[in-house]
Structure 1
Amino acid sequence: MDFLDLFDIVAKQTILQPRKYIRPQSCATGFTEDAIGLDSLDRVMTLTLLGEIYAVPPDVLDRAPRIDTIGDLKALLEREGLRIPGTVEEARNYLQ
């Protein structure tokens, strides 16, 4: 599964100001407002929804180390998640 595609779908569902959103081009893209156009609330909402998809316990997300890049976010979800979706469609099913 392409994590960037999943990130894009989730971010577009959660962001409050879609005009500012910049789709990340790689996992090296910063998880910052300057890099992807998501303010702190948008980033928390995106992280929370991705945490639900990957079944990361909320307390783990609360004490997660600093997330500097999209790759750091992906690594956290894959390391701490109780499930790893194989496809974007599978991930979408976890949201319903």
Structure 2
Amino acid sequence: MIINQENNSITIPRRNSRKQRIGIVVSNKMNKTIIVSETKKVKHKYYGKSILKKKKYMVHDEENISKNGDKVKIMEIKPISKNKCWRLISVLGKIG
């Protein structure tokens, strides 16, 4: 809590926003869990060439609504299990 002396108001600082990612569903074989693959283009530190980097996330899908190949938006949450700390926000569309 921060007190502003100029106009005698109290400001409550907001907590940090959670990370969000957009990726494609690779697997939905587990119950209430999907695996989402995120691909991003980065430059190599030394050579400067563009490289595609892939990362997989285990995501909590409460209603089992996403299918393989869907483009989804996920958000970081507190850990649900050993590997699962992301939650499905929305299905953005079908790829391909």
Specify the TM-score bucket, using the shorter chain as the normaliser.
Answer: under 0.3
TM-score normalized with structure 1 length = 0.25
Bigger relative CO (Cα 8 Å, ≥ 6 apart): 1
Q: Kindly indicate which of the two structures has a greater share of residues assigned to helix.
A: 1
TM-score where L is the length of structure 2: 0.25
